[in-house]
Each structure stands twice: as structure tokens, then as C-alpha cells.
Amino acid sequence: MSDLLKTIDARTKLAGTNKLEILLFTLGVDQRSGRRENFGINVFKVREVMRTPEITQAPEMPSSVEGMVSLRGTLVPVIDLARYAGIATESRPEIMIVTEYNGHTQGFLVEAVDTILRLDWSSMRVPPDMLLTQMGGLVTAVTELDNNKLVMMLDVEKVLAETTQTDQTIDTSMVVQDRELADKMVFFADDSIVARRQITMTLEAMNVRYQHAINGKRAWDDLQRLAHMADMQGKTVKEMVQLVLTDVEMPEMDGYMLTKLIKSDPRFAGIPVLMHSSLSGVSNQKLGQSVGVDGYVSKFEPHKLSEMIAGFLLKDA
């Protein structure tokens, strides 16, 4: 399995090109539909792929959590993705994809892995409402390959929040609050409903005004409309928006490309871009810096998010 991951090369050249590499995998044939669905995960989040090791059952865990495994002395929770997605299969998952989000490691049980593809985010579309309903909001993007194979990108943040029993509330006492923040506006972009909910709660606890979009393409369209409105009113865009907060992985346009467009457009001069992502590796932060990101903060740490946001918003106050 390690040979598969060795085919991932030149990742650092992807920043600002609106491209991504995904690992394709299947969860098995759904007994209800008789279909084998194809899914994808960003290779940046994959640490390794292996045969499913012996799993130790753990008490009082969500039903889709198979148990724990020991990887080089570290206990790692193992999630059965087919069970979580409600896909009833006859076969037992034989492969485990070891992933890393926000510095936390977990295993995803799958039927099989296929290959690694390099795609353009512009080919990844927002799922139609019917698919969103069918998959319970689990899919954040969908694309069709040349062989007519449909590939769905999972909202892994939603999976982890619900299976690892992550506290999705925030402690308002840990959030930065300052009366001068009430006059500030943040524009944020994120395709995960879980992440959008936590960003919203954080900004509201800070008493900061906000607008948002569900991906980079829609964010860029909205920001251009704001720039046109500012021009009509004889203002600068910075007078209307004081900070842009963006996820990295988003259909149609990723956060790297969105940042590159903002930083190359003089209308948005002086507006800092803060990258908010579950891609927690140092290399990903360097990718953000290469396109002009002003700061980087990991997801699901609202106190750190509020500190970073306040640091930028109060700098010129």
C-alpha cells in the first residue's frame, strides 16, 4: 500500500493552481441499490494505507466507530465509513486509510482503494440537493470522471465531529470580546456545514458582523460584487470587509486560489486573509504563505480562531 502513496509528487506546486490530488476508494456494494459508490479524499490528509489490523473494541463509542488500533504505540480510533454513511454491505472492510486532521490521527475502514488522481477544483461541483438529502449532508463536492464514474468528496469534518464526540459548542468566556469589534466585518468561505456553524458561533460570540459563502468560487463572486458596490459608493473594499477567512478544500475554487486572486487584485489591498483549515501540517501552512496568506489557524479551536481574528481586526483600531 505504501507504493500507492509514493506516486504523490510535487504537491507544493499545486498551491494557487486550483488543483488537488485525491485518493479514490470504495465502501462496498450497497445492498439496497446494488451500486458501488466511489469516494475521494484529499491526499494531503492521508498518512498511509494498510490492511485492516486487529481492532480492539471500545465501550460507549458511536455505532460507526469500530474500535481502536495501536499504530507505533499510539491509540487511533477506527471509523467504519460504510456504516456511518448508512451503506449496508455484506463484505467486511479490508483496508484502512490512516488520516490526519488538526494533528489528530484516525483510521477509516473502506472496501478498497483505487488510484490517485490530480483534478482541478473547478471540476468539483456543489452536490445537487437530492444527493445532499440522500447522503445526509455527508458529501461536500461531486465530480464526473472521463469514464463516467461519479466521485463524491466526503465532509470528513462532519464525520469526525459526530463519531469522535467532538464538542461542537464553544465556551464564550474563552472568546476574545472587545467593543471595537462590533464595527468590523469578516467574510468567510467554507464548504463544511460543521465548520460554518462553528465559525458563525465564534463570530457571534465576538459580536463581529459576517457574510459567508459555501466555496471559494462563490466567495470570489460575492467579493467582486462588494468591490463594485464599494466603488459605486466611493469607498474602498477594506472599509466594508476587514478580514477574509477561508478554508483550503472547497469545490469549484480552493482557498489557495481564492487567496491568490484577492492578493493580486488592488481593490482588496490591505485586507488580510486568514486560512482556517484541518490540514494541520507545516507544509500546508507554507503553501498558504506562498500565495500570500497572512495567517493560519487550525479548525475546531474557537479560542485560537477568535484570538487570530481579533489580532487582525484590532490592529488598525
Alpha helix (H) residue ranges in the chain = 2-5, 81-85, 129-134, 156-163, 193-206, 216-232, 255-264, 282-290, 302-313
Quote the pTM value. Answer: 0.80
Q: CB under 8 Å to 7, separation ≥6 — which residues?
A: 116
Q: CB under 8 Å to 261, separation ≥6 — which residues?
A: 220
Give the residues of the chain that fall short of pLDDT 50: 1-12
Q: What is the dihedral of CA 135, 127, 43, 292, to 10 degrees?
A: -140
Domain map (residue ranges) of the chain: 2-163, 172-313
Could you give the CA distance from residue 280 to residue 2 in angstroms, rounded to a whole number? 21
Tell me the per-residue pLDDT of 132-173, one tens digit each, with 9 for 90 and over.
666 666 788 888 888 888 898 888 878 877 776 555 677 888
The CATH superfamily assigned to 2-163 is: CheA-289, Domain 4 (2.40.50.180)
β-pairing, 295-298 vs 273-277, is: parallel
What is the distance between the terminal CA atoms of the chain, rounded to a whole angstrom? Answer: 53
Tell me the per-residue pLDDT of 46-60, one tens digit each, with 9 for 90 and over.
889 999 999 998 777
172-313 is classed CATH 3.40.50.2300: yes
pLDDT value for 281: 57
Collapsing DSSP states into helix, strand and coil, what is residue 29? strand
